[in-house]
């Protein structure tokens, strides 16, 4: 469904000298800085895949999605989405994809959402029966029928995002680009959006690329992730393989001593040990040493509570960034 080969986008920014005379000099002799927002990125995504697109701020995630949407042109490289070249901006291509930007709205702020949906129906030339059937399905899945006639500006952030998703899916796109759709949402709204996206993807086999800084989104929705850093792709593969490599070969052991047997300076022989102000000890140890660590802790003294956890995905991703 999506084929990307050596996609590159370089931005040139004017470098102004300080002061008034620096501005005057810039009128006649300008210098520029070049920033590669995306550099030689290549990947392919099959129909129906739900792929996470990860990277720190400024890594090039949104730039890549905008190139796939035809909003900006690549400096070099090629992209094909459902057989179309996004740079040509053909109407036929615009009808088969949708882009949702978590920090931008496509709905009219001072109108009820249903009015924007009616406008989109006209823009996409949808038949009344198809439009009604799709709208009813989306409204029921998101549980937001009673808000259709409320002014968009009077909706909560979570309700607005649900309306944005309906607007993006009203024409039944084959490809959906989601750029941080859950940003700023509370835990309940995030979960509702995730459940909807997972269900919709399974029902209609829509190809979805999702960028998010919430690892819960990625873990619940994506089996495959593409990680980019400083404009370059540094990982492309299964999420569980990413979690099973590098630092995730370690475990985190937390325990709370029952009495003063453990001194503040107590350290495990098997790995990094830290102690928080509330007296909780945290150990970062190899998976192979878990049994030995547990025995060491229990042999030292009684504990009130002990837990063993995987290293958070956020830490695995952060280590991956730092190693590049």
The Cβ of residue 143 has, within 10 Å, a number of other Cβ atoms equal to 11
Q: How confident is the model at residue 27, as a pLDDT?
A: 78
Every domain of the chain and the residues it spans: 46-243, 249-315
What's the N-to-C CA distance of the chain in angstroms?
30
Q: What is the DSSP string of 228-276?
A: EETTEEEEEEEHHHHHTSGGGGEEEEEEEESSTTS-TT---SSSEEEE-
Sheet holding 2-14, edge to edge: 32-45, 2-14, 76-81
Q: How confident is the model at residue 323, as a pLDDT?
A: 62
- The pTM of this model reads 0.77
Q: What is the DSSP string of 276-317?
A: -TTS-EEEEEEGGGHHHHHHHHHHH--EEEEEEEEPPHHHHH
User: Which residue carries 């086999």 as its tokens?
Assistant: 205
Sign, CA torsion 59/219/199/109: negative
Q: How confident is the model at residue 235, as a pLDDT?
A: 86
Sheet holding 175-179, edge to edge: 97-101, 175-179, 207-211, 50-54, 224-229, 232-238
Sign, CA torsion 75/96/43/317: positive
- Short-list 64, 51, 54, CA closest to 314: 54
Say what angle helices 128-142 and 157-169 make with each other, to 10 degrees: 150
Cα–Cα distance between 207 and 81 in angstroms, integer? 10
> Cβ(277)–Cβ(309) under 8 Å?
no
Cα–Cα distance between 262 and 247 in angstroms, integer? 27
Length of the chain: 324
Sheet holding 281-286, edge to edge: 272-275, 281-286, 250-257, 303-310
Tens of pLDDT, residue by residue, the chain (324 residues) = 999 999 999 988 877 778 877 777 777 788 878 888 889 999 999 999 999 988 888 888 889 999 999 999 999 999 999 999 999 999 899 999 999 887 778 888 889 999 999 999 999 999 999 999 999 999 988 888 889 999 999 988 888 889 999 999 999 999 999 988 888 788 888 888 899 999 999 999 999 999 988 888 888 899 899 988 888 888 888 887 776 655 446 788 888 888 777 887 888 888 888 888 888 888 888 878 888 888 888 888 888 888 888 777 767 777 766 666
Region at 91 (left for phi over 0; alpha for psi -120 to 50; beta for the rest): alpha
Q: What is the DSSP string of 120-167?
A: HHHHHT--HHHHHHHHHHHHHHHT-GGGTTSBGGGS-HHHHHHHHHHH
CATH superfamily, domain at 46-243: P-loop containing nucleotide triphosphate hydrolases (3.40.50.300)
User: Which residue carries 């009673």 as its tokens?
Assistant: 146
Q: How confident is the model at residue 274, as a pLDDT?
A: 86
User: What's the topology of domain 249-315?
Assistant: Alpha-Beta Plaits (3.30.70)
Q: How confident is the model at residue 24, as a pLDDT?
A: 77
């Amino acid at each position: 469904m999506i084929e990307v080969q050596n996609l590159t986008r370089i931005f040139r920014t004017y470098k102004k000298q300080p002061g008034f005379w620096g501005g005057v000099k810039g009128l006649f002799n300008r210098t520029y800085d070049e920033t590669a927002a995306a550099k030689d990125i290549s990947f392919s995504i099959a129909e129906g895949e739900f792929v996470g697109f990860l990277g720190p701020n400024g890594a090039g995630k949104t730039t890549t999605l905008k190139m796939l949407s035809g909003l900006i042109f690549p400096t070099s490289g090629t992209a094909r989405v459902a057989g179309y070249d996004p740079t040509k901006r053909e109407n036929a291509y615009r009808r088969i994809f949708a882009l949702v930007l978590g920090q931008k709205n496509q709905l009219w702020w001072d109108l009820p959402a249903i009015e924007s949906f009616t406008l989109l129906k006209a823009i996409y030339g949808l038949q009344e029966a198809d439009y009604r059937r799709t709208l009813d399905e989306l409204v029921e899945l998101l549980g937001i029928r009673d808000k259709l006639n409320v002014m968009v500006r009077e909706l909560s952030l979570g309700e607005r995002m649900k309306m944005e998703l309906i607007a993006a899916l009203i024409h039944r796109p084959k490809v959906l680009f989601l750029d941080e759709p859950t940003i700023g949402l509370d835990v309940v709204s995030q979960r509702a959006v995730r459940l909807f996206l997972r269900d919709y993807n399974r029902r209609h086999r829509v190809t979805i690329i999702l960028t998010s800084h919430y690892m819960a989104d990625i873990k619940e929705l994506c089996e495959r992730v593409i990680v980019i850093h400083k404009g370059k792709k540094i990982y492309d593969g299964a999420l569980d393989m990413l979690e099973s490599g590098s630092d995730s070969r370690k475990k985190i052991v937390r325990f709370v001593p029952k009495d003063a047997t453990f001194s503040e300076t107590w350290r495990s022989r098997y790995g990094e040990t830290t102690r928080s102000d509330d007296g909780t000890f945290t150990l970062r140890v190899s998976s192979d040493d878990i049994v030995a660590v547990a025995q060491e802790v229990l042999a030292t003294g009684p504990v009130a509570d002990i837990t063993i956890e995987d290293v958070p995905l956020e830490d695995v991703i952060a280590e991956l960034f730092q190693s590049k």
